[in-house]
Amino acid sequence: MTTPPETCDPGCGLNATLRIISGKWKPLVLFFLRDGPKRYGELKRLIPGVSDKVLIQQLKDLEMDHVLARTDYKEVPPRVDYSLTPLGRSLAEAIVPLCTWGTENMVEMAGIFAERDAVL
């Protein structure tokens, strides 16, 4: 077994992952799509604080990165939903431990955030 390198060059798996999930809302989109396809309005309700412009752009980015599929049903009124591709599903499952970590450390993190906000 080889020891992982101490640095993470551009070919590093972490860099590749961060390129996909970079953006404030992308991890949440992936997390919520784990339960199945969602329409735009449902995603918007699940992610309070995201603007329409940013959510639309991040959905387009995830689609271009082949982790999200957009299905347009060509109906009137328009009906479109978003779902994870197999690649996206594996990425969304990788995010679950981060959610668990955040839940387990929420009290400590709240104190840290309060200290940080007091300085700013």
Residue range 40-97, pLDDT digits in tens: 999 999 999 999 999 999 999 999 999 999 999 999 988 999 999 999 999 999 999 9
* Residue located via tokens 């679950």: 96
In terms of Cα–Cα distance, which of 72, 19, 80 is closest to 44?
80
pTM: 0.84
Rounded distance between C-alpha atoms, residue 67 and residue 23, angstroms: 14
